Structure 1
């Protein structure tokens, strides 16, 4: 939907985070006299009041009745369209879209595609993959935007002049439906992997998978780049898209730590700063994507060595008193915690797990602990007791030390006390930060503070925006 088509309709904004503010400013730039309703908290309403916008009405509660009175609701990504209020409003005729829907349709071309857009999604590794893609494109001399879920809403970059040569866009599962709802399609869509996540937002694992895959099944990109090693992705049939595979013997894939293109050895991925084999595997996704764009991926591959890893993603923030502190705060699934542990195999490790409880099954994590467990596991957060109960029978065998903590601060203290002056304290919670922290960034910053490091120094995402 083009923003111009909102004129004269009953339009609401739901949410006043960065995405909500970006939507407001984008609409106001094109429709200065359009009546808008904003659903936000009382504290946020005070900020909004400073705008003195005569055409803006603020409502403190998004009820089904008020939402249903709208024609269009532009919602922030964190708000689930499956809530009772949202579903009731849809039944009354309201249509829900996101800022990504508006942005894509503002890029409309005669061929129906948003030119040079590359959308990246997946349960794990999408931020690093998107940033690495932008890094390699820039190394090849292409002016490239890095935006989306990684920290810069697309609507903040609506009228960029001159336009970048490429758009590297990270999408969460909260945003893939928004792109699918747009009339304008992405040029390229990349799906890395699928594991259960955000079940409280989506309502079920099946719906999570469907919503995630909407980027390729409903948005119908010109090109889909898919992981051949993921069974659900390997089974997809996409008649409307040209499909390129990575982690496939005929394409870009790893053999051990070596990157190959078919039978051709390209380079040793251990020369890159990418943490963990799963991230080095996603380098293959980036190279397959660059190749799908018609560029020489082999010539750009070596530039991965100069990539700067992102904060909160297996980020080594430093060593103090013989302890290495690793911040993997973005880890929100048990699978992510297992992948993090794999990076430190053979080392003395205390892993801190737990956070917001959204009902994710930790039995797979427990099964893995029967094989190669870390020395210490400290549970914490709302789902900490549930994880602790699951692991208690295994800890009784003496394979690992199991401790329970009330919060992150006590978890760090316990881990440090048990490790002494040698080892790794790994924050890889496998759960969201909601409740205790504003987001995973705030959790990572607190971890850095507790370890004695400057949180500002470890928080900046390099390369955001256009370069």
Structure 2
């Protein structure tokens, strides 16, 4: 649905974070006389009222009855469409869209495709992959937009200069929006699928289904998927051309060496891409560049100039003999395992735990039987559940296990075990909700507690058009 198609309809906004404010501005720009109702928290009402918009009504109770009074509700990504009140309103005919859906509908061509656009999703690595894609395209002299879930809502993306390409990160909250928009991306990448955001999606099966709607619903022209992921490798997509990365016939790694088919291209070990999984995702980026009709072999060496993103296996520095690593964006136990693998052979104290979304940590515990760090400090809402699961292994002497009330106490306990030699690794494997607004706030607090300047480590380079 295009924004002008909202004219004459009863429209509400649900959520007043950055995405909600971007949706408001986009709608107001095209439809200055359209009455709008905003559903937001009590804490957000003052900001909305300060707009002094006589056609904006502000309410704090998004009940099923109130939502049902509207033809269209433009909701923020963090609000699940599976909430009972949303489901009840949908049953009464209310349609729910996000800002992502509005943007894609606005930019679809006559053939339905959003040309020169690459969408990137996956449980882990999507931000680094999207940013790396934009970096390599720009290194080739192409004006490229970098936006989406990475930190710039699509509806905030400037229209000038017109980019040659767009690199767009999508969370599992947004992939369905692309399908709902009726638009088709030119290229879509899906990196991997692990259980995550189960409280939003309701189940692991629905999470996978929602994530894959970028492929099954939006029907990109070219789909790029991980040949090694069991959820992805066997997908049949009759409306798309499917290309694999991590496959011997295309872009893949042999140990740390990057190959295109049987041709050796470069050694990736020295690249500023933290973790082998991110070096593997370079293969996805190069496959996408080829899908856009460009010379990926020529652009691959520019990965050496890539600037790693904050809060993603970010080495802050060394203090008192300890290396401090901020992986605050880690929100699944699989991410924590990948982080541990990056520092294999070092003395590591892992800080694990956060908001409890009901994700299963048994695979993580099983991995700790054979390849555990020196110490694990549990914390957060799901800390006690993780601690209980790991306790039998700790009692066998496989690692030192302790529990902390908060991040500050967890750091103190990690320092006590490591002394002046080792790695303090914040890779919580869980969201930050509760004590922190988001993973950025958690990472900034970790940096401050470790003695580093939070402002100097938080900027995401390259957002927008460059």
TM-score by length of 1: 0.99
In the alignment, what sits opposite 1:89? Answer: 89
| Deviation sequence 1:77-114 (CA, Å, 0-9, x none) | 00000001100110111000000100001112111101
After superposition, give the CA deviation of every residue in 1:127-174 in whole Å (9 maximum; x if it has no partner). 0000000000000000000000000000012x5123100110000000
1:207 and 2:206 correspond:
yes
Instruction: Tell me if 1:173 matches 2:172.
Output: yes
Partner of 2:145: 145
1:399: Cα distance to partner? 1.1
Secondary structure of 2:231's counterpart equals helix
Q: Write out per-residue CA displacement over residues 170-190 of structure 1, whole angstroms, 9 at most, x where no aligned residue.
A: 000000001110111111110
Give the unaligned 5+ runs of structure 2: none
1:193-342 equivalences under 5 Å are 193-342=192-341
8 Å CA contact retained: 2:377, 2:414: yes
Aligned twin of 1:46:
46
Aligned counterparts of 1:285 and 1:130: Cα–Cα separation in 2: 10
Structure 1, unmatched stretches of 5+, are none
How many Å separate the matches in 2 of 1:103 and 1:418?
50
* Counterpart-to-counterpart distance in 2, 1:63 and 1:135: 44
Could you report, residue by residue, the CA deviation over 1:268-297 in whole angstroms, capped at 9, with x for unpaired residues? 011211000000000000001101111000
The whole-number CA distance in structure 1 between the counterparts of 2:108 and 2:413 is 55
What is the rounded CA distance, in whole Å, between the counterparts of 1:376 and 1:85 in structure 2?
Answer: 44
Structure 2 counterpart SS, 1:389? helix
| 1:234 counterpart SS class | coil
After superposition, give the CA deviation of every residue in 1:216-235 in whole Å (9 maximum; x if it has no partner): 01100011011011011011
**2:141 aligned with 1:125:** no
Matched residue of 1:231: which SS? coil
Alignment of 1:446-465 (within 5 A): 446-465=445-464
Return the alpha-carbon distance in structure 1 between the equivalents of residues 182 and 391 of structure 2.
Answer: 52
Looking at structure 2, the residues matched to 420 and 364 of structure 1 have their Cα atoms a distance apart, in angstroms, of 29
Verify: 1:12 aligned to 2:7, yes or no.
no
TM-score (norm 2): 0.99
Q: What residue is the counterpart of 1:78 in the other structure?
A: 78
Q: CA deviation at 1:244?
A: 1.1
The alpha-carbon deviation at position 48 of structure 1 amounts to 1.1
Does 1:354 find its partner at 2:353?
Answer: yes
How far apart are residue 50 of structure 1 and its match? 1.4
* Contact 2:161–2:465 (Cα < 8 Å) also in 1: no
- Find the aligned partners of 1:160 and 1:366 in 2 and give their Cα distance: 48
8 Å contact from structure 2 (residues 347, 423) kept in 1:
yes
- 2:116 paired with 1:116: yes
Runs of 4+ in 1 over 6 A off after TM superposition: none
Name the counterpart of 1:186: 185
SS at structure 1 position matched to 2:232: helix
2:269 alignment partner, SS class? helix
State whether residues 82 and 200 of structure 2, in contact with CA within 8 Å, keep that contact through their aligned partners in structure 1. Answer: yes
2:374 aligns with 375
* Structure 2: distance between partners of 1:307 and 1:416: 32
In 2, Cα distance between the equivalents of 1:161 and 1:353?
43
Q: In the alignment, is the contact (CA less than 8 A) between 2:312 and 2:329 conserved in 1?
A: yes
In structure 2, the residue matched to 1:397 is 396
- Give distance in 1, aligned partners of 2:418 and 2:104: 50
The SS at the match of 1:169 is strand
Question: Following TM superposition, by how much is the alpha carbon of 1:16 offset from its aligned partner in structure 2, in angstroms?
Answer: 0.3
- CA shift for structure 1 position 43: 2.1
CA–CA distance in 1 between the matches of 2:69 and 2:140?
A: 50
Q: When the two structures are aligned, how many residues end up with a matched partner?
A: 466
Q: Point out the more displaced range, 40-49 or 70-79.
A: 40-49
